[in-house]
Amino acid sequence: MTLSFYLPKWLKYSISIAFTTFITLSGIYAQQAKSSSEINLYSSRHYDTDKRLYSDFENKTGIKIRRIEDKADALINRITAEGDNSPADILITVDAGRLWAADQLGLFQPTHSKLLNSVIPRNLRHPDGHWFGFSTRARVIFYDKKRIGDPPRSYLALADTKYKGLVCTRSSSNIYMLSLMSNIIERLGEEAAKDWAAGVWNNRARYPEGGDTDQLRGIASGQCGIAIANTYYFARALRKKVRNLSGKTNNIGIIFPNQNSTGTHINISGAGILTKSPNRANAIKFLEYLASKKAQTYFAAGNDEYPVLKGAAPNTNIVKLGAFKSDNLDLTIYGKNQALAQRLYDEVGYR
Ligand SMILES: [Fe+2]
């Protein structure tokens, strides 16, 4: 005989309700505890492989990732507009020049992590931990192998008059072009950088149009003999179907510039913890996770980039492009020289 046998029906009913309520409430509280363990990620990335990156972190830590994905400038405006009430913990975007500009708006707070400082080379992160580079890309020279027998082997050579009417680039106001110019200012000095810009502009095959993929398409279509673009745009066309480019890459050669001098200009995909981050401890965990071997592979492969962690292998399409020496310049220079870079482009009429 069980105890319940002696209980009046109404009491049994009450106990049953109380028990059910307890179970339900436990569930709700558990849910609440779980959902307060979260981070809000504002990201300008949108790669399928990132889903694995996020779910792996969630499974490992129990910290839920909420994502807002948009263009970098839209995210920066949004964080600024949200002000003190911003739920954003982390901003992920590309180009040290852009991260620097976001930092100038006061968006980032310092992060002191022994792990991040030991994994990420010093020149690829902000000196006080406002942002960190998690993968790199190189800005290189592509050329039409059928037309150009003697391609430029340095950035400086792009300004050589023998390439008149051949060179395609995107607009000078684009952040990649500003960061490249910032590098050139640092390496060659202001005067030489201005002369360089004038020379490249005079060598243009057309007025700047489109993104990096459009510069590569320009070679494929015969409109451009030489183009400047980031490595991952070419690697992507080797890996998957890119309209008006895939299948037409056989005649496109690649030069990693400045191999006999300062090394090829590189940039980063990076992230930093935001000043108003409500989940700071979780955000640090996420950044440290991004520096782990497994995450490095996902993160870099998503956009055909190079991992920053020594020993993490880049994907095969990027390996096919070849090994190279990269410029080890401190990337904060891309921010510090940014305004001057735009002014010099403007002064020579580089649109
Ligand atoms: Fe890009």
Report which of 335, 340, 324, 317 is spatially closest to residue 139, judged by C-alpha positions.
324
Please classify residue 160 by burial: count the beta carbons closer than 10 Å to its beta carbon, then call 0-12 exposed, 13-18 middle and 19+ buried: middle
Dist. CA 8 → ligand 1 center (Å) = 72
Dist. CA 140 → ligand 1 center (Å) = 13
User: What letter does residue 63 receive in the DSSP assignment?
Assistant: P
Q: What SS3 class is residue 110?
A: coil
Dist. CA 286 → ligand 1 center (Å) = 23
Dist. CA 155 → ligand 1 center (Å) = 19
Which amino acid, 248? K
Please report the pLDDT score of residue 50 as a whole number: 87
Pair type for strands 132-144 and 252-255: antiparallel
Dist. CA 119 → ligand 1 center (Å) = 24
Dist. CA 125 → ligand 1 center (Å) = 19
DSSP string, 290-331: HTSHHHHHHHHHHTT-EESSTTPPPPHHHHTT---PBP---T
CA atoms within 13 Å, Cβ hemisphere of 152:
26
In angstroms, the CA 292 to CA 31 distance is 28
Q: What domains, with CATH codes, occur in the chain?
A: 40-136+268-317 (3.40.190.10), 138-265+333-347 (3.40.190.10)
Per-residue pLDDT of the chain in tens (351 residues, 90 and over written 9): 333 444 444 444 444 544 444 444 444 334 433 446 999 999 998 887 888 899 999 999 999 999 999 999 999 999 999 999 999 999 999 999 999 999 999 999 999 999 999 999 999 999 999 999 999 999 999 999 999 999 999 999 999 999 999 999 999 999 999 999 999 999 999 999 999 999 999 999 999 999 999 999 999 999 999 999 999 999 999 999 999 999 999 999 999 999 999 999 999 999 999 999 999 999 999 999 999 999 999 999 999 999 999 999 899 989 999 999 999 999 999 999 999 999 999 999 999
Dist. CA 269 → ligand 1 center (Å) = 9
In angstroms, the CA 79 to CA 125 distance is 21
Report which of 110, 192, 196 is spatially closest to residue 157, judged by C-alpha positions.
196
Dist. CA 233 → ligand 1 center (Å) = 7
Dist. CA 134 → ligand 1 center (Å) = 15
As given in the structure block, the two tokens for residue 316 are 């095969």
Please report the pLDDT score of residue 346 as a whole number: 98
Dist. CA 135 → ligand 1 center (Å) = 13
Dist. CA 172 → ligand 1 center (Å) = 15
Phi/psi of residue 54, nearest 5 degrees: -75, -45
Please report the pLDDT score of residue 26 as a whole number: 43
Dist. CA 68 → ligand 1 center (Å) = 19
Dist. CA 143 → ligand 1 center (Å) = 19
Query: What number of residues does the chain have?
Result: 351
